[in-house]
Amino acid sequence: MNNTFLAKRKIFLSVILVIILGVAVYGNSINGEFIWDDEALVQDNVYIRDWSNFSKIFSDDIAVGIEKESNSYRPLQMFSYMADYSLWKLNARGYHLTNIVLHILAALSLYYLTNLLFGDNRLSFLTAIFYVVHPIHTEVVTYISGRADSLALLFMLLCFIFYIKGPSSKSAGLYFLMIFSYAAALLSRENSVILPVLLLLYHYSFKKKVQVKAFLPIVILSIIYILLRVTVLKALLSHVVYTTTLIERAPGFFVAVSNYIKLLFLPIHLHMEYGGTLFSAGDPKALLGVILFIILTGYAFWKKENNKLFFFCISWFFVAILPVSNLYPINAYMAEHWLYVPSVGFFLILAQALSLFYQRKQTRVPAIFLILALLGFYSYLTIRQNKYWREPVGFYEQTIKLAPDSSRAYNNLGKAYYEAGREEDAVIPCFKKAIDLKPDFHEAYFNLGFVYFHNDRIEDAIISYKRAIELKPDYKKAYKNLGHAYHHSHRYQEAIPFYKKAIELKPDYEEALYKLGNVYASLKKNTEAKATYEKLVQINSNYEEVYNNLANIYYKDGRKKKAIALYEKAIEINPGYGEAYNNLSIIYYRQKQYESAGEYLDKATELGFTNPVLFEKLKPYRQ
């Protein structure tokens, strides 16, 4: 056997083992449900259900399909959900499968890049297998909404590979793939903008001359992306307002450094919620982070000539962590999924240490046992951690055990309890606890109002909705629900201004328009009701209830033919709409067309809409 064949066989076996390990440790995540942001970005997101919305995902933030606001612009992530929905609809298993595949592809790309940089298959293999099994990545892989990180890293690594190979091959195809990969990374997650710095780090670490032809397009793409974010997409940045200063946030960065390093070595007590806690400069963890930062970076520069890998990896870790360091304000001081890109440096160093240990004949057997033990330990923790993400109630209860001050976890636990059919006394305390922890938590007040309303505590619901609006004056759903609370208690005049405010904030707000039309109809303000319903029909021509209600108004106005046509339109949209059949039977009975009246009444009855009075009146004509 020649050396080329042996090398190819090693690569083939390495790839197969990475795939097997990835499937083995994440296989039990397949049966997980939609959790946390999954419910909003996938389960409740109307945009991903229709390919006609494809262009909109490039002009809006990721939350536009659920009528919320976000400062995240990730069209490729949303495109991947569109593709998933077309295949699996709302079967969470398919989405989990996609996440596993993306993670394995990222690990394989890391394997290839490491081989390209260092020409050492053992080093590359060890890096990839520890990367693919380590539990720190469950927040990216097992959590469907974590997909943005795996997409971003995958395309960043591919861009890196094409960047290195392109100049030597002089291939126009590789040049195009490099540009495409970086553009895809930027459209997957914002932190991909750090890639040009990582490329410069590569040139500095390995003393490689910068190829302007390859590097310039990357820089230009970065500049274009940044300009778009601060101009055309500027509105996205205004969705979240931060009031802290850099001085206040800086200690949190060093706390995060010490926590991250601890979690990479000993990944236990992993959880979702770290929050925006501020730390003092004298905090022990902050001081430890400063010491670790100085030691690691100092040692890396000291050894940069003798150990290029160590310098490259330590520098990679700190450079890659900068976009999520909270030095520029974001929504937390740390998060486990933010390690997905920086941890590449850690796994390379770990792999190098184990590889050196293996190379010595006298320590080869202990090295094999250590590699297998670490691999087994991390794999076990990953398989166990996947259970944390299995279903919402258990997920939030465990999160609260590990992060008892998380108002978001209590709020989401309240929603999970409600959806699971838990009693009111289990739901309301969760929302109240969320409010205790964060008195300006408008969403918790909204959810509290929702539960009060559905437990017929209308006055309490009104108070909660009003408080939500005080905290967020442009809260469309709160205005609509407040209008509905007044509507439900027959206080129609009081309901109208709140429905109108919701519509003012969102002119195509279908539910608010529909309910406003109903209020006008209840007040016998037929002109206003008709105008409202007709506006709604212009927005959504497939709203059968609107056609039915509009027909009722036309019938009262004496325009029977128009009313019949509208009832028939409602039935055309929804052939199972029993109320429209019943209304047609009433019209035909009054017009003494008893046969037609009987046919429509039979159809209404068949669909579960009974009208015993009309049934008795028609009996003499059906003998």
Tell which wins on pLDDT, 312 or 58: 312
Structure-token pair, residue 259: 């926590």
Per-residue pLDDT at 237 exceeds 60: no
Average pLDDT over residues 482-506: 96
Which amino acid does the sequence have at 472? K
Please name the residue that has the structure tokens 């046509």. Answer: 565
How many angstroms separate the Cα of 549 from the Cα of each of 261, 519, 530, 566, 574? 63, 12, 9, 9, 14
| Contact in structure between 18 and 122 (CB atoms under 8 Å) | no
Q: Residue 429: pLDDT above 60?
A: yes
- Could you tell me the two tokens for 123? 């080093």
For 116-155, write each residue's pLDDT tens digit.
Answer: 999 999 999 999 999 999 999 999 999 999 999 999 999 9
Count of C-beta atoms within a 10 Å radius of residue 513: 25
Residue 169 burial (C-beta neighbours within 10 Å; 0-12, 13-18, 19+): exposed
Query: How deeply is 463 buried, as exposed, middle or buried, from its count of CB atoms within 10 A (0-12, 13-18, 19+)?
Result: middle
The Cα–Cα gap between 586 and 61 comes to: 49
User: What is the tens place of the pLDDT at every residue in 100-111?
Assistant: 999 999 999 999
Q: What is the pLDDT of residue 118?
A: 94
Q: Which amino acid is at 232?
A: V
**Using only C-alpha atoms, what is the Rg of the chain?**
30
> Which residue would you say has higher pLDDT here, 413 or 610?
413
pLDDT at position 20 is 97
Read off the pTM.
Answer: 0.91
Domains of the chain from N-terminus onward: 28-387 (no CATH), 541-623 (1.25.40.10)
Mean pLDDT score across all residues of the chain: 92
What is the CB-side half-sphere exposure of residue 116 using CA atoms within 13 A? Answer: 18
What is the rounded average pLDDT of the residues 355-360?
Answer: 92
Tokens of 303: 């050894």
Alpha helices for 441-557 (secondary structure H):
442-454, 458-471, 476-488, 492-505, 510-522, 526-539, 544-556
The answer, yes or no, to whether residue 450 has pLDDT greater than 70, is yes
Which range of 69-78, 96-105, 516-525 scores highest in mean pLDDT? It is: 96-105
Least confident of 209-223, 226-240, 293-307, 458-472: 226-240
Are the beta carbons of 106 and 153 closer than 8 angstroms?
A: yes
Question: pLDDT tier at 8 (50, 70, 90 boundaries)?
Answer: confident
Given a contact cutoff of 8 angstroms between Cβ atoms, the answer to whether 614 and 583 are in contact is no
Kindly state the helix (H) or strand (E) to which residue 363 belongs, with its residue range.
none
pLDDT digit string (tens) for 323-342?
999 888 888 999 999 999 99
Q: Which long-range contacts (CB under 8 A, 24 or more apart) does 50-58 make?
A: 51/82, 51/86, 53/82, 54/79, 54/82, 57/82
Q: What is the percent of the chain where pLDDT is above 90?
A: 75
